[in-house]
Amino acid sequence: MVEPNASPLSPQQLEQVTAAMRRLRTIRHAAAVATFNAWGAAIFATLSLLFSVILFSWVGLIVGLGLATVSFNEFRGARMLRQLDVRGPRYLGFNQLGFLALIIGYCCYMIYVGVTAPNAYEQIAADYPQVAPMFAGLDMGMIQVALAIVVYGLVIVLSAVLLGVNAVYDFTRAKHLRAYAQQTPSWIRDLLQRLARL
């Protein structure tokens, strides 16, 4: 007679299920990270598009559409991971590199604007002569150029590090997907898929 609380699975089968769940957890975590990134990009896309309409900014419109594309791709990549599609990690990794290209393009444009724009401090001094002595002896045009280069150059460097790490993380999830597919018996994959639908 079988014990009422006895498992229908052997200890070896239980061990296989546990190992498969551990492998699956890594993939689910990557899907959660992609979903978090997708929502972040969606929020910034919405804000950028909203302000581009209010301020009639074509640059804001381009950035907003770019961020919306990044968000869409992140949601799609997360779904691919949840479906155990081996193309998901590559898709997400290239999306992060595309996001980096968008940021670099925007920063380069802003550096160009900072370098070529009229000296804002000269305009302030002309409009408010009482503050002109504060700028005496300072090359405010050069300071404006230096600020643009330093600020947007720093954004490029930090973005390259952050999004580069994200891209590497995404690309390396492929080995986890392959390991899950190769090392997990089909009956366990079916069981875990059914449990995920509950």
Q: What global pTM score does this model have?
A: 0.77
The C-alpha angle 34, 40, 44, rounded to 5 degrees, equals 140
Residue 79: closest CA among 64, 95, 66, 65: 95
Q: Is residue 28 part of a domain?
A: yes
Q: Is residue 178 part of a domain?
A: yes
Separation CA 127–CA 118 (nearest Å): 14
Q: Is residue 197 part of a domain?
A: no
What is the span of the domain harbouring residue 151?
Answer: 12-191
Q: Which tokens sit at 49?
A: 């598009």
Q: Is residue 2 part of a domain?
A: no
Per-residue tens of pLDDT for the chain, all 198 residues? 445 555 566 667 667 666 767 777 888 888 999 999 999 999 999 999 998 888 888 989 999 999 999 999 999 999 998 888 889 999 999 999 999 999 999 999 989 988 887 776 666 666 776 666 666 655 566 777 888 889 999 999 999 999 999 999 999 988 887 877 777 777 766 766 666 554
Could you tell me if 119 and 140 are in contact, meaning their C-beta atoms sit under 8 angstroms apart? yes
Q: Is residue 5 part of a domain?
A: no
How many domains is the chain partitioned into structurally?
A: 1
